[in-house]
Amino acid sequence: MKSVKFLALAASAALAACSQPATEDGDTARVVNVYSARHYSSDAAIYAAFTEQTGIEVNLVAASGDQLIERVRADGERSPADVIITVDAARLHRAEQAGLFAASDFSDLDIDIPTNLIDPEGYWVSFAKRSRVIAYSNDRVQPGEIATYEDLADPRWEGRICVRESGNAYNQSLLASLVAHLGEEDAQAWAQGIVDNMAREPQGGDRTQINGIAAGECDVAILNHYYYAMMVNSDDPAAQAAAAAVTLFFPNQETTGAHVNVSGAGIAVNAPHPEEARTLIEFFFSDDAQRAFAEMTNEIPVRTDVSWDNPTLAAMLPFNEDSLNVSELGDNNETAQRIFDRVGWQ
């Protein structure tokens, strides 16, 4: 069940263009300019609740992660960006390497989140998680036949795997995590095994992979957990039927734990409103915001002490997570891309 309060706020919120509005008494209102690669309804609701509670207006600029990075980089010292938000640790790393974040030491936030979700240099912090998991056909795969990501490279799965293209950031970060755990040589052997076992050329989004299993085009797929949840809760009977045809599970429960990626935020290096920027980022860890991530987008909150109501997500949890610092996904991203090129993962 979605948060009624947040839905109402989202419906009534009008996020202004990047300017500083005047209050009725002529004073300049407090604002924060947010450059975000996220496009979820939860975020509009959170911004509205933030403004209601703090009086700080949120001016939103939305685009893809790469577009946002290039825009802030091109604007340089003239950039009005206060907060930069993107999904996937590799893009957070890319923004950090481009010098777009101010060092902010998020470790002193009064919240209890794992240190592996905070950039070691203090440039950005994760506020919501997603796991890259495995789905398999209820009819053609038996429970227990697959336990790990590594199992997918076994020749027994030849012609049976559906997966997205190598240019997808989620796949890049998954392979980057395997580079960290296995080393480059073994990670490349894994990627080659996936290519050898593909049922079709990489294509589509994560929901496309579930549909591929349901249509009998493949038996196993790699996807983010929340796309499955979206299909389970969809108003489209076809999407519901496709989700019902598969079983989803979190791999590597007895080894490294399931791969985890994040959405994260940092304060822009030239932020004109750094105090407001930090206040907004802190708000992402409030009870209301963490609840909205779980209830409205099926993401996994980084705080474990917040209650929320989402039966589909709750049925997936808990699971053993990879404790790798997510910054290493960015550190190993270039290596992952080279591996994809070498093995011919399109």
Report the binding-site residues for Fe cation.
39, 226-227
CA distances to 23, 32, 182, 226, 279 from 16, rounded to whole Å, are: 14, 11, 47, 30, 19
CA 257, 43, 241 angle in degrees (round to 5)?
60
Phi and psi (nearest 5°) for 85?
-125, 130
Residue 263 pairs in a beta bridge with 87, 128
CA dist., res. 297 & res. 310, Å (int): 10
Place of tokens 């989620």: 170
- Known binding residues are 39, 226-227
The two tokens of residue 152 are 């997918």
Inter-residue contact 339 to 191 (CB < 8 Å):
yes
Place of tokens 């001016």: 59
Inter-residue contact 20 to 9 (CB < 8 Å):
no
Residue 258 pairs in a beta bridge with 321
